[in-house]
Amino acid sequence: MPINKKKTVDSKANQISLPKKTMLGLFDNLLKTRLLDERFRKLYRQGRFAGTYFSAVGQEATTVGPTYGLRDEDIIAPSHREIGANVTKGVPLDKIIAQVYARESSPDKGKSHPCHYGWKAKGVITPSSTLAGQTVVGTGCAMGFKIMKKDNVVLAFFGEGSTSRGGWHEALNYAGIHNLPIVYICQNNLWAESVPSTLQAGIEDFSDRAKAYGFPGITIDGNNVFTVHKTASEAISKARKGEGPTLIECKTYRWYGHSEIDPADYRTQEELEEWKRKDPLQIAEKILMDLKILTTTKREALVEQINQEIDEAIESVEKDAYAAPEEAYIDVYSEQFPVKRVDW
């Protein structure tokens, strides 16, 4: 038996009722994420940017679904495969592209990893390279919202591999104790680089880990953007009302290597083909077409419009300069500590 042969959750797509506007909005963001992600893979092969690129193709529904409908003041604590969360939160395309191109115009002025997208204006934290680091920071932000008595929420994203980190457990334990307004989204794509999920934990469902921290854990089909959105929205509403955290495990798959330099020869072609048949974009498209909300003509017009936006943003970013070497020392450490002590 292959190491990663696990049962997956059935898609209950057609039974999910969401407003037409929401369904189209989810599809729009899913399509934009896919087109931008596939474009980055081509640009990398053309040598248009350096380093490598971490594609999220195949697992976009896990980021687009939860993020859609969030407020600007809500916070996203992303990891390295959250292009969809950035697109959906409304981070401008040129900021996302400048991050991959490491230009001075990028939110971190070219300091970090190509896929460590963040944008303060939209509440997206620039991720830490240390896996699960953003889970800890995101949990701290949720504590901040609680102290300030704000009804905002945090969405923290990570892969199943990151749930083996000590800090991840400390963060969830803390969130459980303090009943924090945070929703944890685990993207179980079966592989953490070359390590199968069966070597990360002795449990079938990673959502079971929430039991230890005293809040609900749910496992869902991560390739159906409508299921993901509905489940996450319910958890987000609970968190906003002060009813505490939820861990949502989305079963999904990444189509390409860990990054563009990884041929992914540790997994079988059959496994890949099986998951490609569960393409989140095609699932969403079929549902919308069956419901007569989308037509082929409308889809083609959307593709054309998004590709044009991407073309324009790339053209503009490619003209941008790289930061001066001294920039490496700026914005690394905070220059002042918080002056006001807050009691709770």
Ligand X SMILES: Cc1ncc(C[n+]2csc(CCOP(=O)(O)OP(=O)(O)O)c2C)c(N)n1
Alpha helices in the chain (DSSP H): 20-45, 61-67, 83-89, 93-101, 133-147, 166-178, 225-240, 269-276, 280-290, 296-318
Query: What string marks each residue from 187 to 226 as x (binds ligand X by CB under 6 A) or -?
Result: x-x-xxx---------------------------------
Which of 139, 189 has the CB closer to ligand X? Answer: 189
- Nearer to ligand X by C-beta: 123 or 161? 161
Q: Does 130 bind ligand X (CB under 6 A)?
A: yes
**3-state secondary structure (DSSP) of residue 100:** helix
Burial (CB < 10 A; 0-12, 13-18, 19+), residue 308, is exposed
Please give the helix or strand (H or E) that residue 102 lies within, else none: none
The minimum distance between CB 267 and ligand X, in angstroms, equals: 12
**Closest chain position to ligand X (CB):** 159
Q: Per-residue x/- mask for ligand X, residues 19 to 58, rule CB under 6 A?
A: ----------------------------------------
DSSP-derived pairing of the beta strands 217-221 and 246-251: parallel
- Using the rule CB under 6 A, which residue among 160, 205, 249, 279 binds ligand X? 160
Give the span between the Cα atoms of 81 and 110, in whole angstroms: 18
Q: What are the two backbone dihedrals, phi and then psi, of residue 156, each rounded to the nearest 5 degrees?
A: -110, 130
Q: Does 308 interact with ligand X (rule: CB under 6 A)?
A: no
Q: How far is the CB of 331 from ligand X (least distance, A)?
A: 21
DSSP string, 190-255: SEETTEEGGGT-SSS-GGGGGGGGTS-EEEEETT-HHHHHHHHHHHHHHHHTT---EEEEEE---S
Query: Which residue in 63, 112, 162, 219 binds ligand X (CB under 6 A)?
Result: 162
Stretch that binds ligand X, among 129-137, 210-218, 294-302, 336-344 (CB under 6 A): 129-137
Least CB distance to ligand X at residue 134 (A): 11
103 vs 99: CA distance, rounded Å: 7
* Cβ closest to ligand X, residue 157 vs residue 213: 157
In single-letter form, the type of residue at position 306 comes to: I
C-beta of 103 vs 209, nearer to ligand X: 209
CB of 3 to ligand X, least distance (A): 15
Q: 96 is written with which tokens?
A: 């996302």
Interface with ligand X (CB under 6 A), residue from 84, 161, 196, 222: 161
For ligand X, give the closer residue by CB, 227 or 252. 252
Instruction: List all residues 6 or more positions away from 9 whose beta carbon is below 8 Å from its beta carbon.
Output: 219, 220, 221, 251
Sketch the per residue contact string, 66 through 105, with ligand X: x for CB under 6 A, - otherwise.
Answer: --------------xx------------------------
Closest alpha carbon to 135 in 179, 166, 100, 95? 166
Q: What is the DSSP letter of 134?
A: H
List the one residue out of 188, 246, 154, 195 whose CA is nearest residue 62: 188
Residue list 241-270, contact with ligand X (CB under 6 A): 258
Q: Choose, by CB under 6 A, the member of 45, 104, 129, 147 that binds ligand X.
A: 129
Under 8 Å between Cβ of 143 and 244:
no
Q: Which of 27, 101, 158, 275 binds ligand X (CB under 6 A)?
A: 158
Q: Is 230 in the site for ligand X (CB under 6 A)?
A: no
CB of 102 to ligand X, least distance (A): 18
What residue ranges bind ligand X (CB under 6 A)?
A: 80-81, 129-131, 158-162, 187, 189, 191-193, 258
